[in-house]
Amino acid sequence: MTVTTPERLCDDRASGDYPPDLYDFVGIATGVNGFASVTDAHVAQFHAQGYLVVENAFSAQEVQDGLDGLIHLLSGAMEERGFRNVQYEQASTGVAVEELPPAQKQDYVRKFMWFVDHDDRLYNLAHHPQLLTLVQRLIDEPPVLFQDMALLKPPRMGREKPWHQDHAYFQLELEARVVGCWIALDEATTANGCMVIAPGSHRKGPMAHFQRRDWQICDTDVDTSRALAAPLKPGGLLIFQSLLHHGTPPNGTSLRRRALQFHYRPQSAPPTSQEKRLAIFGGEGLGAQC
């Protein structure tokens, strides 16, 4: 694999706006209907294109369980057991968010992290037998869950997640076959901030990342000429390789766009050092979180 060493500079603006065409796409990422429909050809497509969409992967009840689990975490019920990993949107500054009931509080949340051990419903989704079976098929080894997140992108407030490669955040050797599983809990649309992906971009190897609006690929290095949007109905799943270029635009609508994201690695995935990761992806990534 070629390593694009991050010697070059990125003169993107550090904050604020971004090029208006940054999340343009030329088509829609379509997928299979349900886990049972995934064939070897789909697995081959995953390896070639770096992604696989599974519509209706999770039932309406499983989606509701995921939402109930997140609301329960926001109720503060698990705080005395150590769960405090909620990050609010910058736009919530000045709002007495802590005093709001959980159902309202969620509309200020940017993300949750490290929750599967605090709620059985969320644990069960991350260890869903059909999901784990599919991930094992994609990485050729029993998968180990090593990161769990929920990304809420609240109505009219949820900001973008600039283009990036998830592997830039992980302390794992480049060869490790890491996959991300992004599960829509609401309908994710091109208007409320669904994923935009660059098919095949994982084959370009690691890209230099820069600390700008986030720990991200420089806007001027993003190639949207083959980009696809990945709108999903609730219960839909996007599985993608950890070097795939992807990002999400802001949510300018009045509709929620809540999602779970689980990352799995093979049991044997070799860890790497922080020095080596930063040498590959860029020294500005110290302490960066997905």
List binders of ligand AKG among 140-179 (CB under 6 A).
151, 153, 161, 166
Of residues 109, 119, 117, the one with CA closest to residue 87: 109
Tell me the C-alpha distance between 109 and 92, whole Å: 8
Residues 188-217: x/- map of binding to ligand AKG (CB under 6 A)?
A: -----x------------------------
**Cβ of residue 193: shortest distance to ligand AKG, in angstroms?**
6
Q: Are strands 246-248 and 161-164 parallel, antiparallel or unpaired?
A: antiparallel
Of 238 and 269, the one with the shorter C-beta distance to ligand AKG is 238
**Cβ of residue 96: shortest distance to ligand AKG, in angstroms?**
26
| Both structure tokens of 224 | 């949207």
Tell me the C-alpha distance between 35 and 51, whole Å: 14
List binders of ligand AKG among 243-272 (CB under 6 A).
246, 248, 259, 261
Contact 135, 177 (CB under 8 A): no
**Cβ of residue 91: shortest distance to ligand AKG, in angstroms?**
15
Of 38 and 151, the one with the shorter C-beta distance to ligand AKG is 151
**Cβ of residue 161: shortest distance to ligand AKG, in angstroms?**
4
Rounded to whole angstroms, what are the CA distances from 86 to 21, 72, 165, 182, 190?
A: 31, 12, 23, 18, 25
**How many residues touch ligand AKG (CB under 6 A)?**
10
Sheet holding 237-241, edge to edge: 32-33, 51-55, 237-241, 179-184, 259-266, 143-151, 109-113, 86-88
Of 118 and 246, the one with the shorter C-beta distance to ligand AKG is 246
Q: Which residues bind ligand AKG (CB under 6 A)?
A: 151, 153, 161, 166, 193, 246, 248, 259, 261, 290
